Chain A
Amino acid sequence: MKLINKLSLWYLGLTLIVILIGGVFAYYQVKGEIDRAEIIRLQTLNDKIAQQIESGHRLDIQTNGRPVEIVTLDTSITQNFSNTTESSFYNPDIQHKECRLTVNSYYKINNESYRISSYNYITKANEIFKGLLNSFLAILILLAILIAVAARLVSSRVLLPFNQTLDAIQSFQLKDKKHLVLTDNKTKEFTQLNNFLKEMTDKALDEYSSLKEFGENASHELQTPLAIIRTKVELLVESDINNEQAQLLGDIQKNIEKLSRINQSLTLLSKLENNEYSSSENILFCKATKESLSSFEELIEMKSIELRKNIDKPISVKFHPALADILLNNLISNAIRHNIQENGIIELTLTEKSLIIKNTGKEPHVPTDQLFQRFKKGNQCDNSIGIGLAIVKQICDLNNIHIAYVYSSGWHTLELKF
């Protein structure tokens, strides 16, 4: 729900409560005022009649046509007093319920006790209530409409800096290495938010670049010592050594190899991340696929893997040629390496829209989408270092290619959508 809608609803809800309480209050106020005014009038009338009785005037005139009841009481009262009663009844003439207010006043005049009662019809409680309800409802509806319209107009102005900030963060990417640019504004909260975001993203950028720098330096600086170790071991191998030493040196060489592969792959990855291979041209993907495949033909043959290919259509894709090589080599060598021992099959299908590489293989131990992460391997004990697919993913991302990896019933399927 949008912030402005939420605020409007809260405001309306609160208004509703206030109106309800206010309505009850208004009801009692209005009713009280009407009653009090009527009581005073009737009381005055009673008093006037009492005075007339005292002065001996004829009564029917003095009532001024008002329904007044004068009763001589048997009991004696010591003091003048009065009370009021209210009663409702059905009036068949107007077919309506009516409310009657009666004021009974007791007087002691010339040693006689009188009760003078006069009454009048007043507005019924539920009529007042209805009237109030209608007017408050009208107010409420008016308010709701006003809020709905005003909120939209005001929010687009007041929340403008907020929305701008939101857009800016959404398009912010660490990889771009561009500082977050936010427009200035006068609202305190938004200024605080912007300052905080600015500090945070600047810090993240700093740390990201220093981390990257470290990674790059590390893999670059490792190359020379690795080269030295490798050459020294190779020279040592040439010298007069016994079998045990040869075995040790062999193990060392194997691991230097592994180390240099990891290093090479990481260097490549960081280069890809740095967009060092941004230039791309239209290359014939079918040709690149065939070339890559031909370098693996012998391997495929030796492993007696059946190769089914449908890559003859001339298909041109915008791609960096060196990256296309790396991508295809990685994918095909994976399809060979992770194939089954006997009766393995590799299927390659190239169309205008996609390249699909399918191969038979064992079920991976981790979910397939995790295999795009660095050093994640489907099978921990095999000989690969687990960077190949991370490189593939990175290359695909760079070239806006969607890649999906699915395993189902003995088949690994990698689909690249151009």
Chain B
Amino acid sequence: MKVLIIEDNHELADSVQSFLSKEGYITEVGYTCEEAKKKLVSFQYDCILLDIMLPDGNGLEVLRFIRSQNIESGILIMSAKNALDDKITGLETGADDYLTKPFHLSELHARLRAIYRRKQLKGDNIVQFNEIKVNTDTLEAHVNETLLDLTKKEFDLLLYFLVNKNRVLSRQSIAEHLWGDYTDSLDNFDFVYQHLKNLRKKIASAGGQDYINTVYGLGYKFNASAA
């Protein structure tokens, strides 16, 4: 996947770039509106990460530019401005999703993958790893053709792990992924553990391997090399 990061903060852009590079994505960074526009007309990207506050203009302006050029990339807005207006304007102008700073990189990645699946893979809504197969459209998960009876949260959790394989996922990031913003989810960690326990049990009973490891002091990891 080829990703363009439009973000004026070098350190943040570096972080995102370094995270996505490890995932094997090709990433480029545009630090200003102008730079971004130049790259957009010259190259093709699968996804664009767009900051709203840029030194030489508003990110929404870039968004309009993208639409006017008929660029088909998926667009994820990431902004410090947690204003509903921006969110609504952004989504109306054609962004695919909206993420507020500060975000978890794993969350960013999950959203990016979701956009990618929807837009670029066009209907290919199957995420598979070894014996585990997840359909993001029907929200069904199979282990070796056995349908798992998962709750919505367990399904989300499994998908989150599958997208962020071999990454340490902090309890905070999982809680936020499952329960979203505004819920003061600091004490939802027990529930993260609970959901995880159930998920592992269900996978195991369907004959699947337990790929999820506990990382001491930090959280959990879907260990793809465990097999």
A interface residue numbers (CB < 8 A to B): 220, 223-224, 226-232, 234-235, 237-238, 243, 246-251, 253-254, 256-258, 260-261, 264-265, 267-268, 271, 276-277, 295, 298-299, 302, 322, 325-326, 329-330, 333, 337, 382-385, 387-388
Interface range, B side = 35 or more
- Given A232-B15, A238-B168, verify A268-B84 contact (CB < 8 Å): no
11 pairs from A and B in contact (CB 8 Å cutoff):
A223-B101, A224-B101, A226-B101, A243-B216, A246-B218, A250-B218, A253-B172, A298-B195, A333-B183, A337-B184, A387-B184
- Given A227-B12, A257-B172, verify A247-B184 contact (CB < 8 Å): no
Residues of B172-193 whose CB lies within 8 A of A: 172-173, 179-184, 186-188, 190-191
Interface of A is mostly: helix
Partner of A250, one of B153, B186, B217: B217
Cβ of B127 within 8 Å of any chain A Cβ, yes or no, is: no
**B190 → chain A closest CB, angstroms:** 8
Cβ of B204 within 8 Å of any chain A Cβ, yes or no, is: no
B interface residue numbers (CB < 8 A to A): 9, 11-12, 15-16, 18-19, 22, 80-85, 100-106, 151, 153, 167-168, 170, 172-173, 179-184, 186-188, 190-191, 194-195, 215-219
**B146 → chain A closest CB, angstroms:** 23
Complex: chain B residue closest to A250, CB-CB: B217
Complex CA distance for A387 and B81, rounded to whole angstroms: 20
Told that A235-B15, A298-B151 touch, could you supply 14 new A-B pairs with CB distance under 8 A? A223-B82, A231-B15, A253-B218, A261-B186, A264-B100, A268-B82, A295-B179, A302-B191, A330-B182, A333-B183, A333-B184, A383-B186, A384-B184, A385-B186
A234 touching B18 by the CB < 8 A rule?
no
Partner of A298, one of B11, B80, B105, B153: B153
**B226 → chain A closest CB, angstroms:** 17
Complex CA distance for A152 and B83, rounded to whole angstroms: 55
Interface of B is mostly: mixed
Complex: chain B residue closest to A259, CB-CB: B102
Given the complex, which residues of B lie within 8 Å of A249, measured CB to CB?
A: 217-218
Partner of B182, one of A277, A298, A302, A329: A329
B218 touching A224 by the CB < 8 A rule?
no
Given the complex, which residues of A lie within 8 Å of B183, measured CB to CB?
A: 295, 329, 333
Complex CA distance for A224 and B151, rounded to whole angstroms: 35
Complex CA distance for A250 and B216, rounded to whole angstroms: 9
Given the complex, which residues of B lie within 8 Å of A224, measured CB to CB?
A: 9, 12, 80, 101
**B8 → chain A closest CB, angstroms:** 9
Given the complex, which residues of A lie within 8 Å of B167, measured CB to CB?
A: 238
Given the complex, which residues of A lie within 8 Å of B84, measured CB to CB?
A: 276-277, 322
A228 touching B151 by the CB < 8 A rule?
no
Given the complex, which residues of A lie within 8 Å of B186, measured CB to CB?
A: 257-258, 261, 383-385
Given the complex, which residues of A lie within 8 Å of B153, measured CB to CB?
A: 298
Given the complex, which residues of A lie within 8 Å of B100, measured CB to CB?
A: 264
B80 touching A237 by the CB < 8 A rule?
no
Given the complex, which residues of A lie within 8 Å of B172, measured CB to CB?
A: 253-254, 257
Complex CA distance for A235 and B15, rounded to whole angstroms: 7
Complex CA distance for A384 and B183, rounded to whole angstroms: 10
**B22 → chain A closest CB, angstroms:** 7
Partner of B19, one of A235, A295, A326: A235
- Given A226-B101, A231-B16, A295-B179, verify A383-B217 contact (CB < 8 Å): no
B22 touching A238 by the CB < 8 A rule?
yes
Partner of B12, one of A231, A302, A337: A231
